[in-house]
Structure 1
């Protein structure tokens, strides 16, 4: 398909992306890797992904609006057509005639959906004439997550986090030392954030942005840059980055002049890390191994553990995670984190330091890990972290470490959710 207006096939694949995202944690990636998606022209791929992500960001609102017009539940394929059409209208501002007519054409294509083409037309046109009433931000969260966050963080913070789901986040860049952050921010029509990250709302091919070809920066959410600043790596220090891929924190550590070992069990993800090291001209020893079973006697001045987690804090960039995670995942991953923390602690030299971090909004994965670790390891103590010194909001300070969440910095475009704590080993 060619032309300025994405065609019916792009919209069909938008529905496939949405259904893939709702089917499980790897469903979205599987559809994107498929031949049908890769065969689309680049603008159509971008449109299809934007439709699917828009539907995920406002799924609860969309379903409430549809349910106000549907007397009985239609087949799932029909609901997908309707969801994608409303995402086009509400998120992408596609003209009503284009969103409605393409949805009807898609309904006509399949035997299972053909009997519902009149319903598709009627529901969408009805919502154009008589829009559904506004829904609260929490409507876009699965019920169990909304209840959990309200209990954990209170109604006001939970609502602020939920509101962040609806907004496509800006792009944050971490810079190598010696780069002019102010000049880059001006070139990208952005701003320099506390801590030194550059934030821009520009879209498009990043490889054409100033400094990319020279390796002067890499993409990294401002919140994800905070744990390395809390670790405070120094030139010449031996530093271990556990669970390192895709590598933004490894690049930070190497840029600080540390002698870095970047370890991850996923060899495919490590290839991306190595590509970024090459592009930026930075160096690190890259190791494919399981952090708990790594057969190497070395200890380190500093260890960073960005542990596997539910990743609920990444909802701004990955709204699909809200529909992939299950209640039982929290306890399962908390047990993994417990074991990884113990393995990381054994790698810290006396007098050294450990930073534990997760991009999760669940207390069991963050704040709850620290008191239990300190009981197991009395040779460590919790160190205070000044939020301002590491480029975090002042409201992030807590008794167990720093808690960043997507409702912070709303006037600047928000942050990913992170918990981090610094644990110093006694000399």
Structure 2
């Protein structure tokens, strides 16, 4: 059950008139920040226009955008904000005052990293703190802390922020153990850069010159990377289903199945359907399995826009018993999603090492099921968007050790446009956020992803 954040309003402290502009959006941003870091909620789920937080859905479009921008900035730079807060506070942060903390962090993000006058950020935060009877006694403290950040902003950005950690300690330790300090530092640098959008082309429209039409950069893996700020639904080709949004790393697993034209392919844990769309677009007869009716409904909407066809199955994978085996099976298993930190920085602050262990166990069970669903001679792709070897390499190697019905099929550089640096010692794909460097730096990078290929014997 979701804990309700106490927010007992004192109407006498609420700003009025012009002073109220942006107040509700910023106050809601502080509440949602609490739901992410204290209760592990997904920011994408909270900010879903159809099923998200009721307060968020009640906002006008402009204020929704403001809330998303504030929260993404807060979470991407949370390590720096925590470090700054520790430096500027002359006494310990009050205990059991999380609402205060979140309002301070929202304001600090705006002062340090967003184009908002310092005075406005301070005044709106203090007003929100004063309007909540549980925190109003701290309004003087909050005012002093935030005004100090404003006064020392230049020094903080020069000397304190650059040396602050980006990831929480548990994730730093895990990444350093798995990939080394150099990769950890390079990943943290990339996470601080807001990523551009990648798209995959629908085969029926691939002959058109979308690289020119969308002013995109074609990546060696075949995906297009867009640098425009235009909303997705307003871009040419979107409404007629010429392409769909899909990170370049996420597009790799389906490509490793090779020519799927005419084959029976199962996409397990399929929603929201990017990989299914790749398979269907390339001529496969796709069966799309997921245990969420809501997510499958979104998949169906995507397929209708793309004018693609496939069989939709709502089922718990471990209990699913289809009448036939498949030529190919793609399992993009549930995982901690730590590979998506650059696009979803909330993941750093809503996951835990305990969750990684729990998910790795589930992945082993699902991979075993995926093998059972594959005919002899068929191919299986096991993929996760995690930075933990425990959720990728270790699951893959353990399955090869325990299950004599499969063998590894090493990935070749030419399957990845020559990007040999993302093939590991297992012959599997291992992407990291700092891989595929481009100029300017922000243009480069990939989601963290693991993809291993097996053949059923």
- What TM-score, normalized by structure 2, do the two folds share? 0.88
Whether the aligned pair in 1 keeps the contact of 2:190 and 2:342 (CA below 8 Å) is yes
1:352 paired residue number: 378
2:122 paired residue number: 100
- Picking from 384, 405, 415, the partner of 1:389 is 415
Q: Shift in Å at residue 129 of structure 1?
A: 2.2
1:423 paired residue number: 454
Report how many aligned residue pairs link the two structures.
Answer: 426
- Asked if residue 15 in structure 1 is aligned to residue 35 in structure 2, the reply is no
- Picking from 397, 403, 407, the partner of 2:430 is 403
Q: Shift in Å at residue 106 of structure 1?
A: 1.6
- Asked if residue 318 in structure 1 is aligned to residue 337 in structure 2, the reply is no
Deviations 1:190-236 (A, max 9, x none): 21112221111223431111001110111111100000011114210
Q: CA RMSD in A?
A: 2.2
Whether the aligned pair in 2 keeps the contact of 1:313 and 1:416 (CA below 8 Å) is yes
2:312 paired residue number: 286
1:87 paired residue number: 109
Tell which deviates more after alignment, 210-219 or 27-36: 27-36
2:40 paired residue number: 25
Q: Shift in Å at residue 409 of structure 1?
A: 2.6
Name the SS of the counterpart of 1:385 in structure 2: coil
CA distance in 2, matches of 1:233, 1:395: 24
1:65 paired residue number: 84
2:274 paired residue number: 248
CA distance in 2, matches of 1:53, 1:333: 25
CA distance in 1, matches of 2:207, 2:17: 39
- Name the CA shift for 1:318/1:391 in 2 (closer, same or farther; >3 Å): farther
Which residues of 2 match residues 243-282 of structure 1 at below 5 A?
243-282=269-308
Which residues of 2 match residues 170-209 of structure 1 at below 5 A?
170-180=196-206, 183-209=209-235
Whether the aligned pair in 2 keeps the contact of 1:174 and 1:219 (CA below 8 Å) is yes
1:118 paired residue number: 140
The answer for unaligned runs of 5 or more in structure 2 is 1-15
1:146 paired residue number: 172
Tell which deviates more after alignment, 106-115 or 43-52: 106-115
1:38 paired residue number: 57
CA distance in 2, matches of 1:138, 1:351: 51
Name the SS of the counterpart of 2:203 in structure 1: coil
CA distance in 2, matches of 1:112, 1:236: 63
Whether the aligned pair in 2 keeps the contact of 1:194 and 1:388 (CA below 8 Å) is no
- Picking from 409, 414, 417, the partner of 2:445 is 414
- Name the CA shift for 1:199/1:122 in 2 (closer, same or farther; >3 Å): same
- Name the CA shift for 1:252/1:270 in 2 (closer, same or farther; >3 Å): same
Moved over 6 A (4+): none
The answer for unaligned runs of 5 or more in structure 1 is none
Deviations 1:250-288 (A, max 9, x none): 000000101111111111111111111111010010101
Whether the aligned pair in 2 keeps the contact of 1:137 and 1:162 (CA below 8 Å) is no
Name the SS of the counterpart of 1:296 in structure 2: coil
CA distance in 1, matches of 2:189, 2:207: 29
Name the SS of the counterpart of 1:60 in structure 2: helix
Whether the aligned pair in 2 keeps the contact of 1:138 and 1:162 (CA below 8 Å) is no
Deviations 1:157-184 (A, max 9, x none): 0111222222221111110125358833
- Name the CA shift for 1:6/1:157 in 2 (closer, same or farther; >3 Å): farther
- Name the CA shift for 1:367/1:149 in 2 (closer, same or farther; >3 Å): same
CA distance in 2, matches of 1:391, 1:25: 38
Whether the aligned pair in 1 keeps the contact of 2:36 and 2:42 (CA below 8 Å) is yes
- What TM-score, normalized by structure 1, do the two folds share? 0.94
Name the SS of the counterpart of 1:331 in structure 2: helix
Whether the aligned pair in 2 keeps the contact of 1:17 and 1:31 (CA below 8 Å) is no
Q: Shift in Å at residue 108 of structure 1?
A: 2.2
Tell which deviates more after alignment, 212-221 or 134-143: 134-143
Whether the aligned pair in 2 keeps the contact of 1:24 and 1:323 (CA below 8 Å) is no
Whether the aligned pair in 2 keeps the contact of 1:81 and 1:107 (CA below 8 Å) is yes
- Name the CA shift for 1:41/1:419 in 2 (closer, same or farther; >3 Å): same
